Structure 1
Amino acid sequence: MADPVEMVELWRGPFLESVHRGHAVVCDASGRIVAAWGDPEQLIFPRSSCKMIQALPLVESGAAGAFGLTQEHLALSCASHNGAAIHTDRVNRWLSDLGMTDADLRCGTQVPDDKEAKFALIRSHAEPCQVHNNCSGKHAGFLTFGKHMGWGPEYTEIDHPLQQEIRTVFSEVTGLDTPGYGIDGCSAPNFATTVHGLARAMAFFAKAQPDAASARERAAAALREAMVTYPELVAGEGRACTELMRAMGGKVAIKTGAEAVFTAILPEQGLGVALKIVDGATRASECAIAAILVKLGVLDAAHPATRKRMNAAVLSRRGLEAGVIKPAAALLA
């Protein structure tokens, strides 16, 4: 097994202050590795970077069609959103259309990351609801799939047929049987795979065509297109996923995950990308994914959204430039 490589550096003045190491893979739909850093077979939890995989059964099963889900619904099913009104209003309407309420969710409450939404709760002396959870769109998708299939309400239990279906699909698109799972922050199982396996799954999404004979390919294409059509629903204003997808003109879908995981789907190149920063630092995963996308020719290094994360100035609290966060030599070679 290869050691993680230095991927991101933080310089303060003339001195290297911090280094973030990680693993990353770029591969095609056949599973062939096009580029790799560190150990492609490193076992990881994808966390929220794999939400489009978790949403595949929702679309492939026909549940999304049966309930008239739009691209906005599908984008939210892949989202780690800010809990802004554009997210919570839509999820609340989705639940209402299902004949359900916030109480049917199993993701838990979360203070919204969106400042306006958070301050509105404080001013009204209200508590956050489950719909404010960044995963509430994914869970609304789970509820839709479960209702379509006539399954019971405890859909986050590992032995629930919904999670067993997701496990099967997850193993098939990653190309290896998952060795196990952990419980994600939203209480749903998160299945482990390798960095290579996660990149292989993203390449499957990249090659999927909307008119394919396979229902799974059509589902993958629909989810991918929903993400790039509504990047503001996948994350939110100021977030890396939203801003970088906009910077690439809707040609590439990207998704972050907790503990510094990132994935990317490049349809025109037929490539998938997965990376993991071993210390879990989001600043490093955002810099690293930007560097890889620049290297692959799909992201402009000079775009403001790129510069916000790659070769980005580190400022003092008075706004003085104190340092810079930038890709390490391994990512620039």
Structure 2
Amino acid sequence: MRRAAAFLALLLCLYWTGAQGESGGLAGNDVTQIEIQSEILGVKSTSDQTNITPDIWAELKELRDMAIEHSVELRNSKSKMEKLEQENTAIQTRLTASESKNAVLESKMTDSENVVKELQSENTELESKINASENVVKELQRENTESRYFQYTPFQASLGFHNGPQHLNIPRMNASENEVEELKRQIADRPKVAFSLGLTDSGTIGPFNTDTTLKFSKVFTNFGQAYSPTTGLFTAPVRGAYYFSFTLLDGRSNTWRDVFLYHNDKRVLWSQNYSANGYESVSNSLVVQLEKGDVFYLVLYAGDSVFDDTNDRTTFNGFLLFPL
């Protein structure tokens, strides 16, 4: 740019010199001054002005081309920025939706945990009643043995015993024994159904072109043999309330991971999350009522993958809470 300005100034000086020549010439001092200016500008004066003009236009054309090139680059940069902003907005929208779904799933998990705690409390209460009944029977048996030789205590009298073995309250003792036996029979007859599984030791599974039923091949426990590692299906042996939970790990980065829980042919749960750094898990659980013969299983979404190894990073668990 400075060279162009220098050339333009020189051209003006030459033009002014030509004009002075036509009007009668220049003084000696004026010629010297022009030569000094030419040396300062780094350009040799010449009487042929046409040799300088093309250089000036070439410089101007080069400047114009540079200006056009910068303009095109600025437009391309602006277009890229707009595209990145659109992608960022889309990602933020999906993250917001994922956070909402996670909040709903956390609420469901809390409800399931409350149900499990309530059932555990009922089971504890039932065991307490059984223990109390057993203690009563033992006490009655002991008192029956000692009744032939000792007077009955106030406790024995409150249970209906009277002095003398001929007045022993046998029907009441038999009723307590029958109650204990009935409770024991109920516990013994309750189906024993529970399983805990790992997926594989082979590393990454998938992605697949279609939704795929996950077959957990590592069986830690499978009481009742209700889960089939061959088909990946859990088949309910009795009508009842069942609890299920799972955890799936994926090693990919900048991708979504999705997994479904199916009851027969109906999807009952869809869990997903987005991973920016890879090796993140998605987990969930629920309590569901199943009829005898119903099937329950996990399905991996098409295009997704899952990871497991000897550390058992991907698991599937379930058990019968109580029959109905």
With the shorter chain as reference, the TM-score category is under 0.3
Structure (1 or 2) with the larger CA radius of gyration: 2
Give the TM-score of the pair, scaled to structure 2.
0.19
Q: Which structure has greater helix proportion?
A: 2
Give the TM-score of the pair, scaled to structure 1.
0.19
Q: Which structure has greater strand proportion?
A: 2
